[in-house]
Amino acid sequence: MRQEDIWDQEAAQAYDTPGTGMFAPDVLGPAVDRLAELAGGGPALEFAIGTGRVAIPLAQRGVPVTGIELSRPMIEQLRVKAGETAIPVIAGDMATAEAPGAYTLVYLVFNTISNLLTQGEQVACFRNAARHLAQGGRFVIELWVPELRKLPPGQQAIVFNSEPGYIALDTYDVLHQHVVSHHFRFGDGKQARLFRSPHRYIWPSELDLMAQLAGFELEARYADWAGSEFTAESPSHVSVYRLKTADRG
């Protein structure tokens, strides 16, 4: 499954859920608040900008935002809400595509770095972030913690969400650190609709090593955008990396 095939026109049109899910104010608000603070008045670059879920409210806060996005249908959906002048977008892979200018903040939210399916591509993503940052700039990643402790011995699947009309499960390949998320939506009939997406999961310590290889150091790690303490029980994290300057080694 190629990412550009997964995030097609159908997925792009179904992605936005104003006021609910990822777009709920209590989910989106703290993320925008934190990113605006970390931008420090400078411009921001969003890797995998999607339909502008975060970029649009961040730009409305006065932060100049540019995006990189692989899926052209997602860009088209963003364009329904914001023009090129308001939020410029470069079509391309977040591991290699280049945007003009230098930024104080590069950010990558909602587990999207795991869409890169090899360790090499994920390291390249860090290096691409470093190329775009001004001295002392920050790279922020929101990512889930692999749930292998929930995986029963001898089994490969975990149900991670279940509600009326919807079941979601992950299937794991622990040898290659791959996981496929399966989202089943169904009504009263026999048929269900399936949306699948492949990922390569990353442990926080591995993420820190990727950052080090690209010239970053970990500045802070939180359990969420509100800044809660990250613990061994946290299901996800927001990690803030700072580009090392010459005098800091």
Domain ranges of the chain: 3-145+203-248, 148-198
Confidence of residue 246 (pLDDT cuts 50, 70, 90): low
- What is residue 1's predicted lDDT score, i.e. its pLDDT? 65
Which CATH architecture is the domain 3-145+203-248 placed in?
Answer: 3-Layer(aba) Sandwich (3.40)
Residue 152: per-residue pLDDT: 85
For residue 75, what are the contacts with CB-CB under 8 A and spacing of at least 6? 49, 69, 89, 91
Answer yes or no: is pLDDT of 249 > 60: no
Asked if residue 32 has pLDDT above 90, the reply is yes
Give the Cβ contact number of residue 224 at 10 Å.
Answer: 18
What integer is the mean pLDDT of 74-82? 95
Residue 4's pLDDT band, with cuts at 50, 70 and 90, is: low
Cβ-proximal residues to 60 (8 Å cutoff; 6+ apart), any chain: none
Averaged pLDDT of the chain: 93
User: According to the model, what pLDDT value does residue 248 have?
Assistant: 44
Q: Choose among 128, 64, 120, 63: nearest CA to 92.
A: 128
**Residues in CB range of 233: below 8 A, 6 or more apart:** none
pTM over 0.85: yes
How many helices (H) and strands (E) would you count in the chain? 7, 11
